[in-house]
Amino acid sequence: MVILSYNHHHSGSCIVARCGSCSSNRFDFYRYQYGSLINASFAANVTGSQIAFSNTTTNATSYLWNFGDGVTVTGVNPVHTYASNGVYTVTLTASNSCKSVTISQQVVIGPTAIDEPAACELIVTSQRLLKTNCESGFFSKVEVNGVDGRKVYESIFRNNMQLPELTKGVYFIRLHGRGKDLIRKVVIQ
């Protein structure tokens, strides 16, 4: 085997030639690709219906973003405005000359607080008790959604109510009120 070119300090390729037999003039050529591993990651900063992405990926040369609402773009640090509130799965595909890596992250677009009452808090205890200090009668319904947007529970709202058994994970609790909703992210351990 004869290595015609090789540089192990940088990503790229090498060409290897293999002699069929010593008496023949036949060579088989192989091209091997090698390169740096892609470490894909990003952060999202939500302001209203607009979201700015901070791409912290290393060793990639191109980026394809899918915002989960039918819109895709290329670029390093895109900004996107969603047409409606909801939970979206944002997907980043980072590529270089050797491979592509795809990662996804959930983002929530929409109201995360209400204007009144100003000091309304939502607490979920370790015993799955949902407590609020909100004005009585302000909210009419409670809804629990998984990070994928799937509704896992819905009920008439009562202060200090027991939530059903939920598997470990991240959930979004939405209290439906008089024209305004209160949404909070909770982690069930």
pLDDT of residue 78: 95
Using CA atoms, how far residue 185 sits from 42, 43, 75, 79, 112, in Å, is: 20, 17, 29, 23, 9
Q: Please give the CATH number for the structural domain made up of 122-188.
A: 2.60.40.3080
Q: Strands 181-188, 169-177: parallel, antiparallel or unpaired by DSSP? A: antiparallel
- Tens of pLDDT, residue by residue over 99-115, are 899 998 888 887 544 44
Q: What pLDDT was estimated at residue 166?
A: 84
User: Is the domain covering 42-109 a CATH 3.40.50.300 domain?
Assistant: no
> Do residues 189 and 155 make contact, with C-beta atoms less than 8 angstroms apart?
no
In which residue ranges of the chain is CATH 2.60.40.10 found?
Answer: 42-109
- When the pLDDT of each residue in the chain is averaged and rounded to a whole number, the result is 77
